[in-house]
Homo-oligomer: A and B are copies of this chain.
Amino acid sequence: VTGVDIPPLDEAAMTAAYQRQLTLTKPAGALGKLEGLSVWLAGVQGACPPRPLTRRRLVLFAGDHGVARLGVSAYPAEVTAQMVANFRAGGAACTVLARNADVGVRVVDVSVGRPSGAISVEPAVTPDEARHWYDEGVRLADEEVDNGADVLIAGDMGIGNSTVAAALVCAVTGAEPHETVGRGTGIDDAGWARKVAVVRDALRRVRHASDLDGIELLSELGGADVAAMTGFLVGAATRRTPVVLDGVVSGAAALVASKIAPTAVPYFCAGHRSTEPAHRRALEALGLEPLLDLSLRLGEGTGALLALPLLDAAVAVIREMATFESAGVSDRPS
């Protein structure tokens, strides 16, 4: 992947937002991370105050994974397709939370029923396929932004996808499989051991994973759906559109995105920290502090959807609060 041209955040807008926060009727910094969010959004949008987030979109990347047949999940692989139907019917957690947060949902069937290869024994997809799906993800981000989206969330659905996410996090950060593999959908000790073994086998098969570029990583250890999600994240940043990251799968995709386009990362905000150890590792490597820490481990974009009202609140505060001067409130003696 070459020619990814992502501008830095707008420093002037960020400085203006920071200065504006100092004039509002509250002690400087008293709204903590909420103030930081307003400064970040100003930088992403290149505007102070930042504009309200009026067209909010969740794009769900659904795909199956060959590792699902190796006993790494508490659920059978057919659940991926069943859940896609549940998304379309509006009965899943992500669709309920999206309605609740006024977010439009788009479901992209990347590879449901056409599993990417089992990474412990074979590449997930060919490099050409990885590149194809990456480009498709970029195109989807472009389409969403062209249609007016001003904040994007990438959701995941795919039995086995937290296993490939752990493998990608190991490959990029150098962490060991037992440090990254979690309970996913709720596997028991034996399932956890199988999942660790799958990740270890995958890393052994690939060998010099740390030398691979982003597309090679997606090909060897990712899959079609993760490739599409990675392209989507880079595409959103290219269009200077804020992304709220969700859990371990979008965290792993963001890590790969950071290899392809390090300048994309400033456009990402971490919606939450899940219980998956690989997610914690991914956020640390990305240098992102999560907004929420609610012991979520569902994916589908749910953690990002729950964090979105905090972005709205940050925008409301910086846009609507009175200043010390306008409200006639005494500022602290300087």
Residues 74-110 of A contacting B (Cβ, < 8 Å): 74-76, 78-79, 82-83, 85-86, 89, 91-93, 96-97, 99-101
The residue on B at minimum CB distance from A308 is B309
Q: Bound complex: CA of A82 vs CA of B327, how far in Å?
A: 8
Interface residues on A, range: 35 or more
Decide if A4 is an interface residue (CB 8 Å cutoff).
Answer: no
* Shortest Cβ gap from A78 to chain B (Å): 6
Partner of A293 from the list B96, B293, B321, B328 (CB cut-off 8 Å) is B293
Count of chain copies: 2
The answer to whether A99 and B316 have CB atoms under 8 Å apart is yes
The answer to whether B79 and A330 have CB atoms under 8 Å apart is yes
The answer to whether B332 and A185 have CB atoms under 8 Å apart is yes
Q: In the assembled complex, which residues on chain B have CB atoms less than 8 Å from the CB atom of A47?
A: none
Decide if A34 is an interface residue (CB 8 Å cutoff).
Answer: yes
Residues 294-332 of A contacting B (Cβ, < 8 Å): 294-298, 302, 305-306, 309-310, 312-313, 316-317, 320-322, 326-330, 332
* Shortest Cβ gap from A195 to chain B (Å): 14
The answer to whether A91 and B321 have CB atoms under 8 Å apart is yes
Partner of A93 from the list B31, B86, B275 (CB cut-off 8 Å) is B31
Decide if A190 is an interface residue (CB 8 Å cutoff).
Answer: no
Q: Bound complex: CA of A321 vs CA of B300, how far in Å?
A: 14
Q: Bound complex: CA of A79 vs CA of B306, how far in Å?
A: 35
Q: A25-B83, A79-B330, A291-B294 are in contact. List 4 more A-B contacts (CB 8 A).
A: A26-B93, A34-B296, A82-B330, A85-B328
